[in-house]
Chains A and B, each alone.
Chain A
Amino acid sequence: MEKVVEMRGITKVFPGVRANDDVNFELAKGEIHVLLGENGAGKTTLMNILYGLYQPDSGEIYVNGKKVDIKTPGDAIKLGIGMVHQHFMLVHNFTVAENIILGKEPKKGITVNMKQAIQDVKKLADLYGFKIDPEAIIEDITVGQQQKVEILKALYRGADILILDEPTAVLTPQEIEELGVILKNLVKEGKSIILITHKLKEVMSMSDRVTIVRRGKVIDTVRTSETSIDRLAEMMVGRKVSLKIDKAPAKPGKVVLEIKDLRAQDHRGLPVLKGVNLEVRSGEILGIAGVDGNGQSELIEVITGLRKSTGGKFILNGKDLTGKSPREIIEAGIAHIPEDRHKRGLVLKYSLAENAVLGKHYAAPFAKGIMMNYARIKEYARTLIRDFDVRTPNEEVMASALSGGNQQKMVAAREINKDPELLIAAQPTRGLDVGAIEYIHKRLVMERDRGRAVLLVSLELDEILNLSDRIAVIYDGEIVGILDAKNATENELGILMAGGSLKNKKEGGIV
């Protein structure tokens, strides 16, 4: 077996955390090797070391059998290493092509050959079956598309060793399948891939070997063919995990949120919501299923006051909230776990304690007049950290220091604990490990059982099917069908999500 990467005895310590503790890891040529571990186990840290973003405190790295010293990402790129980062590294006001060629620009004389760049990107995207417009601006495209841009960035640089840090967290099941095929093809071309993911199904279907890390230490490296989902989950968390949600039938009560003919435009002035009608009742979880980019993000933005509507209205417990400010909406009782934790969920350069009270920071007990009560704020943050098992040295570290999954837990903790009338959960388990997903799901069901209304938006059909009581399918800015989750199948959802109709297939299936 030819080793393309070997990391020996890697240790990396951050203030208060041993992120990597004497880690040994190897990647064989032509394999897909999954790094599996809980949130905060040290996976991203290890890969950042391989990519030259962090310097290890001790340990050695060998690439293609040679000992190397990787000081900067530039060094890593020269060694043929490419990395897709857990959090996007995209310049939001650049085009797709500009982001991809940055640092390795095709030239014509002394100028950048933009035409060539656009062609190259198009060719590359076609080669791997990505549908993407090279001239689109990043902030105009969906997160799913942004993810593809990130992958193209690495491929464009001709990486032979590809690190993918949770590339599937924001992809739809179908896109994940496509990515699986792409990865297999890359391996056939002789590339070697390190994949980080929390989705155990993917691990089983995509990988050759799995290395499990827990709290900075390597537990074991196993062949995928010789293990199972349950076994992996247990090794990773250290206990048995239930991957099924058990919940009692819902007892829906009065209508909490009523959306009537709601319309909105995107930033280009094109309609994205074309008259949405929807009701969410107390004591139920309503899931919105849809292919990314069909208006679900904009719908949430309107209901949370982050985007202006151009028609229609939405009513919470009889109170018309259309056009109200985010603060008025929060005070009316809507809480929101946003789909992009960095953009909308956290102030990365604030402490965890400060982040824990965002949105309630101005009122008692966290503030009195113009003074903040930091003792109370910290105490509150500690409760959230304990309840939601946020892995952090303490509540005073900056949010940016946390691992991606732990940041997600922090946001979910804050919003769920606001005790809202309506909880909007958009991709609430994005980037969480199986143990944490289990817990967040349990809490969402708990909210439901306490008579709250929960509006769930997720690209993961499994999550929608398991968690929801009713499922609304959004397509091209409209709700095209509402199904009872008990009888809904993945197939039916798929048809509706693609813009098809169930009319003659199954009469009465639509509630």
Chain B
Amino acid sequence: MDNASLPVVVALMAATLRQATPLILASLGGVFSERSGVVNIGLDGIMTCGAFFGVYGSYKTGSPAMGILFAIIAGMIVSSIHAFLSIHLKADQVVSGVAINLFSGALTSYLLLVLFNRQGQTDGVNALTYPKAFMRGIPVIGGFLSELNWYVFMAIILVFVTYFILYKTSLGLRIRAVGEHPKAADTLGVNVYAIRYLCVILSGALGGLAGASLSLGTTNLFREGMVSGRGFIALAAMIFGGWRPFGAMWASILFAFADAFQIVAQGFGWAIPYQFYSALPYILTMIALAGFVGKTTAPAADGVPYTKGER
């Protein structure tokens, strides 16, 4: 990065937002799914698929926009498996999510071999061009803006969109009702299954986009294991954020800050082993979850399959 001219604080802020982006997107996916009452532990795997298919789409078509579309569709397909298993077959949602995580890792390594004839990682592909120079020309905040990418803007816009849907539209009212008391919603003619399918698939779309923002948005390539637990950190952010879009965003930013900070801090030359810095984001996640989660409450029907005609 040629940001030698930028003050450290500005660089740190920009890096935080860049790192927060996949977390924000995935945690929004979590918000949709869990608000409707379906636990989606498979977000990590969905991100992996999104990261892979984003790169594949861009590689195949030469267009990074198509890559993003591929990623979103891949996320939707994988999450519809989760939806079918947990809503239709009423399988244990955690087990189904774990299965999706395992499946995604294996699937992408296999496809890496078949589609790219590579092992470990793909070649670089076209990424969205970001008008760095133009951004730098903007007064005052130009330096900061020039260090971001389009995914950052998408993520922040989607936070507002998610908030709007959940709290301002009738769909949102129904989603929240279905996650709290599906039977009450059912007795008012709300289709519990349809709402849950929709939300799980939406969470897949957001998880896929989160994956693309990681592969296409940072390295322009797909590397095995590149998601490295971010799906879980996103879930932690969602919980820490009280299952609310803005809460999830701030929590994601907090976790990302720890991540960005460790990289900057390693350059400070303090006499602390670098492993400590690397562990920082995870330590923070644990402290946040252990210390604050008690104060937020999950949707009452989160993780509970709904059976019609039972009481």
Contact = CB atoms under 8 A, between A and B. Distances in A.
Q: Pick the most buried of B169, B173, B183, B300: most chain A CB atoms within 10 A of its CB.
A: B173
A92 to B, nearest CB: 7
B311 A400 contact: yes
Given A92-B180, A94-B180, A102-B177, A112 B169 contact: yes
A105 B173 contact: yes
Nearest to A111: B168
Contacts of B173: 98, 101-102, 105, 112
Contact of B186 (A73, A90, A112): A73
B170 interface: yes
A111 B177 CA distance: 16
Nearest to A157: B188
A400 to B, nearest CB: 5
Contacts of B181: 89-92
Contacts of A54: 309
Interface in A44-72: 51, 53-55, 72
Nearest to B299: A93
A77 interface: yes
A102 B185 contact: yes
Contact of A102 (B190, B308, B310, B311): B190
A508 interface: no
Given A74-B191, A103-B188, A53 B174 contact: no
A400 B185 contact: no
Contacts of B275: none
A450 interface: no
Q: How large is the interface on A (under 10, 10 to 19, 20 to 34, 35 or more residues)?
A: 20 to 34
Given A102-B173, A112-B173, A91 B309 contact: no
Contact of A94 (B169, B177, B309, B310): B177
B189 interface: yes
B174 A112 contact: no
Interface in B289-311: 300, 308-311
Nearest to B309: A54
Contacts of B174: 102-103
Contact of B311 (A77, A94, A105, A401): A401
Nearest to A401: B311
A101 B169 CA distance: 12
Contacts of B185: 91, 102-103
Interface string A74-85: 100100000101
A225 B243 CA distance: 57
Interface in B156-189: 164, 168-170, 172-174, 176-177, 180-181, 183-189
Given A91-B181, A92-B180, A105 B170 contact: yes
B170 A72 contact: no
Contacts of B184: 89-91, 99, 102
Q: How large is the interface on B (under 10, 10 to 19, 20 to 34, 35 or more residues)?
A: 20 to 34
Contact of A83 (B164, B169, B187): B187
A486 to B, nearest CB: 43
A401 B300 CA distance: 21
A50 to B, nearest CB: 13
Interface in B200-230: none
Contact of B187 (A51, A105, A107, A110): A51
Contacts of B187: 51, 53, 73, 83, 85, 89
A153 interface: yes
Nearest to A99: B184
Q: Pick the most buried of A85, A99, A102, A107: most chain B CB atoms within 10 A of its CB.
A: A102
Contacts of B309: 53-55
Contacts of A400: 310-311
A141 to B, nearest CB: 16
A465 B170 CA distance: 48
A92 B184 CA distance: 10
Nearest to B310: A400
B276 to A, nearest CB: 41
A73 B189 contact: yes
A54 B188 CA distance: 15
Contacts of B311: 400-401
Given A91-B177, A91-B180, A92-B180, A111 B188 contact: no
B297 to A, nearest CB: 8
Contact of B169 (A51, A77, A111): A111
A103 B191 CA distance: 9
Contacts of A55: 309
Interface string B35-65: 0000000000000000000000000000000
Interface string A106-131: 01001110000000000000000000
Nearest to A94: B177
A267 to B, nearest CB: 13
A110 B169 contact: yes
A305 to B, nearest CB: 20
A98 B169 CA distance: 12
Closest 10 CB pairs of A and B: A74-B189, A103-B188, A89-B184, A105-B170, A111-B168, A91-B180, A91-B181, A77-B189, A103-B190, A103-B189
Interface of A: 51, 53-55, 72-74, 77, 83, 85, 89-94, 98-99, 101-105, 107, 110-112, 153, 157, 400-401
28 contacts: A54-B309, A72-B189, A72-B191, A73-B186, A74-B189, A77-B188, A89-B181, A89-B183, A89-B187, A91-B177, A91-B180, A91-B184, A92-B180, A102-B173, A102-B174, A102-B177, A102-B184, A102-B190, A103-B174, A103-B190, A105-B173, A110-B169, A111-B168, A112-B168, A112-B172, A112-B173, A153-B188, A400-B310
Given A83-B187, A94-B180, 6 more contacts: A77-B188, A91-B176, A91-B177, A103-B190, A110-B169, A112-B173
